[in-house]
Amino acid sequence: MREEFPIFQAHPELIYLDSAATAQKPRCVIDALTKFYSEEYATVHRAIYRHAVHAGQAYHDAREAAARFLNADWDEIVFTRGTTDGINLVAKSYGRTHLQEGDEILISEMEHHSNLVPWQILAKKTGAILRYIPMNEQGVLEWEGTIRPRTKIVAVVHISNVTGTINPIQEIAEEAHRYGAVIVVDGAQAAPHIPIDVRRLDVDFYAFSGHKCYGPTGVGVLFGKKELLEEMPPIDGGGDMIDQVTYGATTYQKPPLRFEAGTPIIASVIALKPALEFVQRNRSFGVLLKHCTERLNAISHLKILGKAREKGPVITFHIEGVHPLDLATLLDVKNIAIRSGHLCAQPLLAKFGLTHAARASFGVYNTISEVDLFADEIDRIVKKLR
C-alpha cells in the first residue's frame, strides 16, 4: 500500500501518524490533478468549447461519485471548501431562516471547534439557546433524554477527532426527528474509515473534507436532503449560482449550484473522485488500533483519553510529566509525525483536565511495525524524561 503514496518513496523513513489532521495523497489523486492542469484545464459551466465541456463533465462525474460514496442523489451534494465550510453553510442558511428566540440547538461536549463555533455564532444571532449533550469519563455521549420539544437542530460528530468514539448517529437521528428537529453530522473523521449511508442513517445534513479522504485540499462535500436544500437561501452571491439577474432582482439556480457561487475549485473536485474511489477500496484499521492501544496502555504514566467500545483509528493520550509538544518534537527527530496541542477541541480536553494532548492517528499506509517503533520510542522518551 505504501508504494501508492509518492511521499513514502521520497521519505521512506517517515512514520506518518497524523492522518486525522490530513491524509497523504495516493498516486491516483496526484495524477488526476496533474493531468487536469497539464492536459485538460478549462473552466466549467460557462463555455461550449470542447475542453470546457469535458471539464464540466468531469466535475459532474465527481459529484456523482460523492453521491455514490454517501448513497445520496447527485443534486443533494454541495461542493464546499471542507467540513468547516459545510457546517457553516447549514448554520447560516438553514439555521438563520428556521430558528427563533428560545429555540434550542443541541450539540455534544466532544465536538471539534468547527461543529461548535458556528452554532455559538448562530445562537447569538438568533437568540436561540445552545445546549450540550454530556460526555462521560469513558468518552461516550449520554444523549438519551437530551432532545426536547424546543430542540430544532442537533449537531453531532460521527467519530470524535480526540477520543475516536463512534457515535450512534442513526439512533440520535431517529430521536431528533421524533421531536421535529434536523440533525447535522460532522463526518470529517468517519468518511475516510467507515461506510457512510445517509439513507440508512436518515441524517438531514452530513459534511466531510476531501483532504482527510486522501484527496486534495480545499474541497469538501455537504450532503443535504433535497427538500431542505430547496428551501434554503444562498449565503454567497455571484456567478454560477444565478438563474436570471436584472438591476432590480435576481433568481437563483436550484440546488446544489445555488450554493456554489463563483468559479469552483475545479481541479480539487475532479481529483476528489479517484480519492473517494480509493477510500471505498481501502478501509481497514481495526488491527492497528487494537495493537497500538495495547502497546500504549503498557507504558507507565501514559493515559489514553476515551475508552468507548466502538472507536475509529484515533488515539489521544497524555503522559504525566511530559508535555505533548516536547514529545512531538522528540518523536519528529526519529521521523515520527504525530499531532500535539489542543486538537481544535479545547472544551473537550478541558473535560479531561488538559489544555494539550498528543494524538496518533492511522491511515491505510501505516503498519504494525511502525506502531511498534512508535510505542518503543515513546517508552524510551518516558524513561529518559521521568
Residues with catalytic roles: 344
> CA 262: distance to chain centroid?
24
User: How far is it, in rounded angstroms, from Cα 332 to Cα 226?
Assistant: 46
Question: What does the block give as the cell for 274?
Answer: 479517484
CA dihedral 182→187→191→196, nearest 10 degrees, is -20
No. of H helices and E strands in the chain? 14, 15
Q: Which residues pair with 340 in a beta bridge?
A: 358
Q: Would you state the cell numbers that stand for residue 118, as one nine-digit string?
A: 458556528
The separation between the first and the last C-alpha atoms of the chain, rounded to the nearest angstrom, is 37
User: CB-based burial of residue 144 (10 Å sphere; 0-12 exposed, 13-18 middle, 19+ buried)?
Assistant: exposed
- Distance between CA 146 and CA 82 in Å, rounded? 29
d(CA 112, CA 120): 13
Cis, bond preceding 256 (omega within 30 deg of 0) = yes
Q: DSSP assignment of 194-231, as one string?
A: S---HHHHT-SEEEEESGGGTS-TT-EEEEE-HHHHHH
**Burial (CB count <10 Å: 0-12, 13-18, 19+), residue 291:** middle
Residue 219: all three cell numbers together = 474541497
